[in-house]
Structure 1
Amino acid sequence: MANVCESCKTLERYEYWNEIPSEKQKFFKVMLGNFEHQLRIPRKFIKCFKGDLSSSCTLRGQSGHVWRVEIVETEEDVLFSDGWGNFVRDNGLMMGYFLVFCYAGDSSFEVSIFDTTGCEVEGSHFATNMNLSSRTCRSLLHYENGQSKGKSKVDEMTESKDRKERASTQEGFTSPMLYKKRGSSQGAQSKKFYISQRRKVTEKEKQCASNRAIKYKKHKSLRDNMIEIIMLPTHVYHGFHLTVPKEWAVEHMLPESHEGILRVPRVEKSWKVGCRWTPSQCQIIRGWSTFVLDNNLEERDVCVFELVQKGDSCIKRNPIFHVHIFRVVREVVPLTVSRRLV
């Protein structure tokens, strides 16, 4: 290991905690002991951190969902307390798991979860904060793939694998991996996701977009018909499902799965989307990705949904929303499409 003199070590510590933006500062914790109910934030982090931590914070998982957690201070420590148990349960944390917390500003942390193999937990990208029974499957894929009714995607994958193995045997191959390596569409399928090419945005720009959206709502007389939603990665880069807060959806949207129409002011085109209810929330799924890509939405852009025509299932009238877009960065840079194996 390269030698570093004591004076430079002191200077490094100062530069890290005082000059490097707090949004780049991280700490990790290993799940040990009574981690299910409370988690101690490292004392050095609390002592040296120059950012603002309020009495509550938000933890954003890799799925894009957010958990609100209270922060309490004892004589010796600062702890994640009320709400932490929900994060543990929803993400299936177990003894020995390794969590990396990256401060994201506004008393918010982005959390990456690794298991005892040293690899990231796959399920952390599909964890949800929905208020579900402990016996209910908590993966977003359970609802996205319609497993709650009818044949599940796992069943379909199993049947597909069986078909492939039978086909490979008939063609003289004994291993399904050999069949997969032939490189045709009969092997692993790929699913699109998108990568932002936008320049790095500042916390001030993010807050400015939110403020403009809130200000716009305040100037409207029928502001109860409006709701602002901050775009998350699962809204605009992958997954492409938008959750509408339940309280607002119950009051302003049809109580059963239905179609809706999205329009952007001063744009002639309109977009038809599918709205569906899960046991605890309403989501916009089908058609949402087309709306996102056509309008170049990105993470932390704010969309204000204004209900201009209430739906009526009796006369088969779809609700119509005007979507007012408040961008973090005014310059539009097209996303880059990529693929991952599924």
Structure 2
Amino acid sequence: MSLKRRVEPSHFFKVILNSTLEDKKLRIPEKFVRKFGNEFSNEVTLTVPNGRVWQVGLTKEEQKIWFHDGWHEFVQYHSISTGYFLVFKYGKNSKFNVLIFDMTACEIQYPYVKEEPEIENEDSVEIMDFTTTPNPTFHTPKKKVFDKCSRSSSRMPRLLNRSRTSFHEDEFISLLEDMGIHVNKRFGNISAEKRERAIAAARLFKPKNPSFMVISRSIDVSLRRLYVPANFAKRYFSRDFKSIKIVDSEERKWSVQLTWMPLCFMTKMGGFARKLDDGDVCVFELIRPRALKVSVLKKTTQQMASRRRKQPSHFFKVILNSTLEDKKLKIPEKFVRIFGDELSAAVVTLTVPNGQVFRVNLTKDGTRFWFHDGWHEFIQYHSIGAGYFLVFEYRKNSSFNVLIFDTTACEIKYPYNDEKPKNEKQNSLHKDEMENEHSVPPLKSSKNKVFDHFPRSSSKVQPQPSQQNLAKPSFTAEFKRVNDKRCKMAEVEEKDYKSTHSSDKDKS
């Protein structure tokens, strides 16, 4: 029997609804606020597994607390939309770690960041390479990139989030130019790969002065020249300029010629151009009338970083009545596609935060994996009911860490010394918690009787809903819509499986 220890639950989860996105703020569950609210300052930090740290202001009203100032930028940056699922771990001193899950029930691929070195002279910028950062899960990353959201950078998350999607040419260029970065008017037609590097360079270098961006081509490298966008040249260079200076992070300087024909080119770039390869992204920032500071994002190092980037290792499951009846739990297929080859053992281990370890058999059928024998005992031991949420973290060697959340959206108190978990019942909730996204509501999904048997709140403790609540779709209705979508996706998947499975049997 594994050694158990008493742990204080420190997690809560939130389901992102349309109203959450419209409000541009996120309310912390009341149960969590009652427990930790007195420790919160007016500003908290949110750290995601790639190491990036966000500063977000809190809005407080009596016993209600919201993530507010800076929250919308956090949502935009990570492309969080309706139906996404977020898990928060409180680590004291107003610091939270955050995991983000999309509609597949699997963790997202977080935007890649580089740990930026502290430099005394902010005007000196090095030729920067990407380096990999660790991908911790429930633990605070050792390496952090601090990013305080500001109005001046509010459009950048939109740009970065869409780096892998299609842009209209004018929109892509205007978003860069909103940051003070001028580009060739044909820049919007570059390939998706080059567009991604351009976005990464813009985010990394964050020029404070008028700037322009160039992606080097093989012909430019061979001719030792780079094009200067016409709008930048007309605005900041005089045709009387015959030469300018460029400087890199090591204070190395080059004098290059300006050639107008009629387009403006920097030519005879000599030693600097020899450092460039096809596909490198160069950002030139005007620091004096005839001087440019240069930063280069190398194509090769970004590709190496992309190969080293770790796969997200979490998934979550909503416990339905059908889950309880089947006495098994299916692992999301997206997760199986990533880690299925590693799950070769017939038995996996599930470890809960108090240190207790459970052995559960794994049933496999092609690309479909279930927790099976031993799963029902795990469910019973923790008094897990319909509407509970479970988060699984894969730790290699067929072992998982598991977090359990009850219908208050907060983590349960795990059993200690074989005691049963004393988790809040749904009937202890106030209606304002139900109406304001603080629990999983009693509702039906597109499957038969998924959440039918949730206990309902007592009428004696239900205050009348406010006019504000009446003016918006209720949390119950929104959650039902999101859950229906998930269930329909699962139903289609299950029908496809049964159809294939039955046809195989007929053939045999």
Taking structure 2 as the reference length, the TM-score comes to 0.27
The structure with more radius of gyration:
2
Taking structure 1 as the reference length, the TM-score comes to 0.38
